Amino acid sequence: MGRGIKLFKILGIQISLDYTWFIVFGLVAWSLAQGYFPLTIPGLGISTYIVIGIISALLLFACVLIHELSHSYTSNKLGLDIKEIKLFIFGGVAQLTKEPEDPTTELKIAVAGPAASIALAGVFWVLTQLAKTISGYPILAAMFEYLTYINIVLVIFNMIPGFPLDGGRVLRAIWWKKTGNIQRATQVASQAGKTFAILLILFGFVQIFFGNFVGGLWMVFIGMFLQQAAESSYSQLLVKQTLEKIKVADAMTKNVVVLSEDATLSTVVEKYFFGYHFVGFPVASDGRIVGMITLNNVRMVPKEEWATTLVRDAMNKITPDLVLSPQDSAMIAFQRMISLDIGRVIVMDNGKLVGIITRRDIMKLMEFKVDLGV
């Protein structure tokens, strides 16, 4: 999910929009402007309906954002690090970098969002009553009534007990707390999510069959999305849990070939890249590791200059980001490579080079683990 627009920061959390958001925003504003509002407050001009449709759609997304912020704020309070919320086609996704470590934390984070939505429904209900009693504000009353209703819908939908929805997280936390087994709890909650998704799809088809084409299609669409989310979040979690148990020391390549920073690129290409078939090598100077050179670095230099260019001028200089300890988990290594968009990290123990770990090393080990069922 790399695509999107960065909007602004609240409470240290970056808010972004996925491009799919615009599609849903347009659909919501349009259906409000030509369906809901003309029905509830007839007799206004088309441009008025469009304006209040857009304003209400914006307020709806503000409500979704507050729901997600409530999850993220609670997560950060409880020690999990959430830096970004992305609003996309079906609401929002907080970018979790870590999974909660105990069921109580999970439970608190899961209920924080729906709790915010219930509070919002309450606020808009009071505003609706106020707008209704003070006559002359029928437009405001209709808008507030819609927002009351939509926040209740958000609560009900999110509390459906299927992972990865909030209700599924609650189910997982309770199961986890009762049995102490997070794998089993995740499996149960994901299965519930998939079952619910399939029921929703079937129900959608029944609706289409009986003539409610648009409503039924929405149900099928949301059901398919949920089913896919339940499956992928489950397998992601399995990968995470496996990688967290593997130490960098057990996944890394130990026999590392180190280059001198004074070698020319032609020597490096002929002797090392062709000789060893590695894609990257650590670079040393006076026995100290000073950088790393990869095929990409070499590719940046024109071929005619390989004979005269030294490794030191083409390599990436070493930074703390490019170094891990053998005691770190493979999960940390994997996250580092993803966030820096690199293929390998150097492993050092007390300032001494002990290995190099690549994405391929991690993938290979994962494959073995899955194949052998350990």
Residues lying near Zn ion in the complex (CB under 5 A) are found at: 113, 158, 166
Least distance CB 159 / Zn ion (angstroms): 9
Q: Which is nearer to Zn ion, 166 or 261 (CB)?
A: 166
Instruction: Quickly tell me which residue has 């209709």 as its tokens.
Output: 142
Q: Which is nearer to Zn ion, 161 or 355 (CB)?
A: 161
Tell me the C-alpha distance between 192 and 111, whole Å.
18
* 3-state per-residue secondary structure call for the chain: CCCCEEEEEECCEEEEECCHHHHHHHHHHHHHHHHHHHHHCCCCCHHHHHHHHHHHHHHHHHHHHHHHHHHHHHHHHCCCCEEEEEEECCEEEEEECCCCCCHHHHHHHHHHHHHHHHHHHHHHHHHHHHHHHCCCCHHHHHHHHHHHHHHHHHHHHHCCCCCCCHHHHHHHHHHHHHHCCHHHHHHHHHHHHHHHHHHHHHHHHHHHHCCCHHHHHHHHHHHHHHHHHHHHHHHHHHHHHHHHHCEHHHHCECCCCCEECCCEHHHHHHHHHHHHCCCEEEEEECCEEEEEEEHHHHHCCCHHHCCCCEHHHHCEECCHHHEECCCCEHHHHHHHHHHHCCCEEEEEECCEEEEEEEHHHHHHHHHHHHHHCC
Least distance CB 271 / Zn ion (angstroms): 56
For residue 112, the tally of other CB atoms under 10 A from its CB is: 21
Least distance CB 337 / Zn ion (angstroms): 29
Query: Nearest-CB residue to Zn ion?
Result: 113
Least distance CB 117 / Zn ion (angstroms): 8
For residue 75, the tally of other CB atoms under 10 A from its CB is: 23
Q: Which is nearer to Zn ion, 114 or 223 (CB)?
A: 114
Least distance CB 207 / Zn ion (angstroms): 26
In sequence order, the 6+-apart residues with CB closer than 8 A to the CB of 65 are 15, 85, 87, 92
Least distance CB 362 / Zn ion (angstroms): 31
Q: Which is nearer to Zn ion, 111 or 246 (CB)?
A: 111
Q: Which is nearer to Zn ion, 18 or 166 (CB)?
A: 166
Q: Which is nearer to Zn ion, 87 or 283 (CB)?
A: 87
Least distance CB 172 / Zn ion (angstroms): 14
Q: Which is nearer to Zn ion, 111 or 147 (CB)?
A: 111
Q: Which is nearer to Zn ion, 113 or 223 (CB)?
A: 113
Q: Which is nearer to Zn ion, 113 or 161 (CB)?
A: 113
Least distance CB 198 / Zn ion (angstroms): 22
Least distance CB 246 / Zn ion (angstroms): 31
